[in-house]
Chain A
Amino acid sequence: MTATQALTGAQTQALLLKLTVLADDEIILAHRCGEWTGHAPILEEDIALANIAQDELGHAGMYLTLAQSLGGSDPDHVAFWRGPDDYRNTRLVELPKGDWAFTMVRQFLYDTSEALWLEAATSSTYAPLAEIAAKAVREEKFHVQHTALWVERLALGTPESERRTQAALTELWPHAAQLFQPIQGEAELTAAGILPDLNAAHARWTDLVTRHLTQKCGLTLPDAPDTQPGRDTHTPHLAPLLEEMQSVAREHPDAEVW
């Protein structure tokens, strides 16, 4: 590892925002995964989703710990004391968990995007980010295998499972491109080699998921809007999610240890 390069003030601010954006997606999706605990179709998948949720929270923790070292707030504070107006997650991850097909299709869209982004981020010139990516990408590649397998089996299973899988994709696909929405200052960080090229990752992702969903699984991709509102615009589903997720922390504001 090379010595950590010094960031300019503008780069630091942009990177802080990027780390928040990455962590918020992980936190919110982890909570949606956690909602399956005790309710998954089989015990084994109950355990799998709890695993995935913990992995995602682990990634969020790494992002927020790095952000803290750059001047950000304490990770627990960031997670539990911001309201829906301050969260910067995509709408894709905040939608209610839906049925099993919805959960698996959403995980597939998300896991593939994260795995490709992380793989590219392992080449970051900013060593702390490259280290996080190297650690997280291993777990993410396993998540992709797990959800790709499930989407395939649901899509090619019974007429009922195929109908549900297609319905999930039809609902989720228009939201997916938001995962590749650049943050303010993203281009400068990419030019400096600190962040991977988001457009290149987006192109690789589109190719990968299109091949899997249409060719392997026989699903149909619906139209997606050309532009999306920003990550500061949320569905009505985020507020109740945060209310539940943050209730314990807010009841015990002086808790010293988690």
Chain B
Amino acid sequence: MTEPQPQPRATGTQWPRWEVFKQDAPGRPHQAVGSVHAGDPLHALLTARNVFVRRPAAVSLWCVPEGDLLTTTPEELVTTPALLDASGTSGTYHVGVKRTIRRSMTFVDLSGTVNAGGPGDALRQARTLHPDALAWMVFPESAVVRTEEDAGTVDSWFAPARDKTYKQQQYYGVIGRHASELKRAGRMPGRAASEESA
């Protein structure tokens, strides 16, 4: 596991923020699902698993420190074109693309990698590759920490979630009688009482 440099902290009491990328199934793109605060890479991964993979299933998690991410929108590039000149390490960069506002729970889907001279160059290439995107995100491969792919990790981190499904609200039981039953019987407060209810 490569140890990214912890980011400079706003205050001495705050842990850095890590963006969490989740892969739902083999062959699917990693998707940005949110973030966690954690003191170090392993802590970030464990925390991400607790927060984002209790359910539904996943097969892999990546965490990237906040300071290694560069994100922008076409509107921002009009006002702040200097973003395309942001300097940093050269090498492999991951490109994330936001294509729709109609998706809940995820921000960008990772769509592949580019070789770039720095984050600004990676952003430039991302814009060329995906000109219609609503937003782009790039970060260097060297900043990524990943869950292990051995059977033991997959089994203990991800397998349990496969058996846990979301429940619809109405599935949850209630103590005593369900409200709908009371409504039908005209026993709900504030409702017109039927003849048989006192």
Do A and B pair up? The answer is: yes
Q: Is the CB of B37 within 8 A of A44?
A: yes
- Does A197 belong to the interface (CB within 8 Å)? no
Q: Is the CB of A47 within 8 A of B46?
A: no
Selecting from B48-56, B79-87, B94-102, B118-126, the interface stretch reads B48-56
**Docked pose: A254 CA to B173 CA in angstroms:** 14
B148 to nearest A CB, angstroms?
Answer: 11
Q: Is the CB of B50 within 8 A of A146?
A: yes
Q: Is the CB of A252 within 8 A of B51?
A: no
Q: Mark A8-48, 1 if CB is under 8 A from B, else 0.
A: 00000000000000000000000000000000001111011
A72 to nearest B CB, angstroms?
Answer: 22
The interface on chain B, measured as residues whose beta carbon lies within 8 A of the other chain's beta carbons, has a size of: 25
Nearest CB in chain B to that of A143: its residue: B156
- Does B139 belong to the interface (CB within 8 Å)? no
A255 to nearest B CB, angstroms?
Answer: 4
- Does B157 belong to the interface (CB within 8 Å)? yes
**Docked pose: A257 CA to B175 CA in angstroms:** 6
Nearest CB in chain A to that of B49: its residue: A142
The binding surface of chain A is classed by DSSP as: helix
Q: How large is the interface on A (under 10, 10 to 19, 20 to 34, 35 or more residues)?
A: 20 to 34
**Docked pose: A186 CA to B183 CA in angstroms:** 53
A159 to nearest B CB, angstroms?
Answer: 15
Contact A255 B51, CB 8 Å, known A138-B159, A153-B43: no
B153 to nearest A CB, angstroms?
Answer: 9
Q: Is the CB of A145 within 8 A of B160?
A: no
Residues of B within 8 A of A (CB): 15, 36-40, 42-43, 46-47, 49-51, 54, 152, 155-157, 159-160, 163, 173-176
In addition to A48-B50, A256-B176, 4 A-B residue pairs with Cβ atoms within 8 Å of each other are: A42-B15, A47-B51, A141-B156, A256-B173
